[in-house]
Amino acid sequence: MPAELSPGALASKPGKFELAHTGTLLLDEIGELPLQLQPKLLRALQEREIDRLGDTKPQRVDVRVIATTNQPLSSLVEAGKFRADLFYRLNVVPLTIPPLRERPGDILPLIDHFLGKHASRVPAAAPEFSPELLSRLEAHPWPGNVRELENFVRCMIALHPGERVGPEVFDAGGCSQAARFTPPNAPRILQAPKDPNESKELLRSVPGTTMREMERSLLESTLEAHGGNRTRAARVLGICPRTMRNKIREFGLPPRRYA
C-alpha cells in the first residue's frame, strides 16, 4: 500500500506495511476498510509488495497480518461491501473471541490489569474494590465488553482514588452515576454535558494529569454522552467533524464505535 505524502512534504514516509516488515501488522476493524482501498490491500497480501510514492519499482515486504472485526465479513461480502477475494485471503485461521459475559473468569485479571495500567498515571493510590463489588462485576453481562470494564475501572480511579469501593457505586448505575458518591473534596475528571444546551461546568482535573490526557478524556466523555455520534459531539466541542475524525485517529480510539 502506498505511503501518504503530506502537503508540502519533500519525501514520502514509510507506510504501515513497510514499518511492519519482518514483523506483525494488526489491521483493526478490517470491515471498515473502504472498497476502493481493498484491491491495494489484496495486492499487498498476495504479491507481498507495495508501491511507495516516488519510487519506480515495487518494494518487497514480509509481514504477518492479523485482522480483527466485530461484524461477520461473510455478511459484508454478501452485501457487496467487502471483496470476496480479500475475505478468502484473510480468512486463513479464523479465531472467535467470545464476549466478556461468556468468560467471567477473565474479569478479575482484567480489573487488576486496568488498575495497574491507569492508576500509574495519577499520583493518588488506586482504589480497592471490595469482595462484594468484585462479585457484582463478575456477574454483570458487560454489553460493552472489555472496553466497558476498562472505562468503569478508569472512572473508579478518577473518582475514588485510594478508597475502598463497595457495590453501592455499581448498583447506582456504574460510572455514570458514581459521581453522587464522590467525597466533596475529591478531584473530578472532565465530563461533557449530555445536553448541548446545558451550561458547561469547568471541572478540575486529577492532579498530575497531562493536557493530552485531559483532551482525550473530554473527547471520550463527549462521544459517550452523545451515543458515539461524531457530528453531535463535534458540535458540542466547537470543532468541525473532520477535526473530530482526526482526533479519534490521533488518540487511537476505535473508529467503528463512533459513527
Q: What is the reported pLDDT for 147? A: 85
pLDDT tens digits, one per residue of 177-224: 333 333 333 333 344 444 444 434 434 444 555 667 777 878 887 887
pLDDT tens digits, one per residue of 145-186: 888 898 889 888 888 888 898 988 877 655 543 333 333 333
Check: CB of residue 59 under 8 Å from CB of residue 14: no
Q: Which three cell numbers stand for residue 133?
A: 463489588
Pairing of strands 128-129, 164-165: parallel
45, with CB counted inside 10 A (0-12, 13-18, 19+), is middle
Among residues 252, 257, 249, which one has the least CA distance to residue 227? Answer: 257
Q: Is the pLDDT of residue 84 over 90?
A: yes
Sorted by where each begins, the domain ranges of the chain are 16-90, 100-257
Q: How far is CA 178 from the centre of its chain?
A: 22
Q: What is the reported pLDDT for 54? A: 63
Q: What is the reported pLDDT for 185? A: 37
Q: What is the three-state SS of 101-155?
A: HHCHHHHHHHHHHHHHHHHCCCCCCCCEECHHHHHHHHHCCCCCHHHHHHHHHHH
Q: What is the reported pLDDT for 200? A: 40
List Cα–Cα distances, 112 to 99, 122, 153, 154, 226, in angstroms.
Answer: 19, 16, 9, 12, 29
Q: With pLDDT > 90 as the criterion, what percentage of the chain qualifies?
A: 17
Q: With pLDDT > 70 as the criterion, what percentage of the chain qualifies?
A: 76
Rounded Cα distance between 110 and 131, Å, is 15
Q: What is the reported pLDDT for 106? A: 94
27 pairs with which residues across the strands? 67
- The model's confidence at residue 12, banded by pLDDT at 50, 70 and 90, is low
Rounded Cα distance between 11 and 1, Å, is 16
Q: How high is the mean pLDDT of the chain?
A: 76
pLDDT tens digits, one per residue of 97-128: 888 999 999 999 999 999 988 887 777 788 99
CATH code matching the domain that covers 100-257, chosen among 1.10.8.60, 2.40.110.10, 1.10.3720.10, 3.90.960.10: 1.10.8.60
Angle at 206 between CA 107 and CA 219, to 5 degrees: 75
Q: How far is CA 92 from the centre of its chain?
A: 26
Homologous superfamily of the 16-90 domain (CATH): P-loop containing nucleotide triphosphate hydrolases (3.40.50.300)
Q: What is the reported pLDDT for 3? A: 45
Alpha helices (H) in 127-256, listed in sequence order: 131-139, 145-159, 167-171, 211-225, 230-237, 241-250
Rounded Cα distance between 62 and 48, Å, is 6
pTM of the predicted model over 0.85? no
Highest mean pLDDT pick, 44-48, 68-72, 100-104, 239-243? 100-104
The 10 Å CB-count burial string (b at 16+, else e) for 228-246 is: eebebbbbbbeeeeeebee
Q: What is the reported pLDDT for 205? A: 47
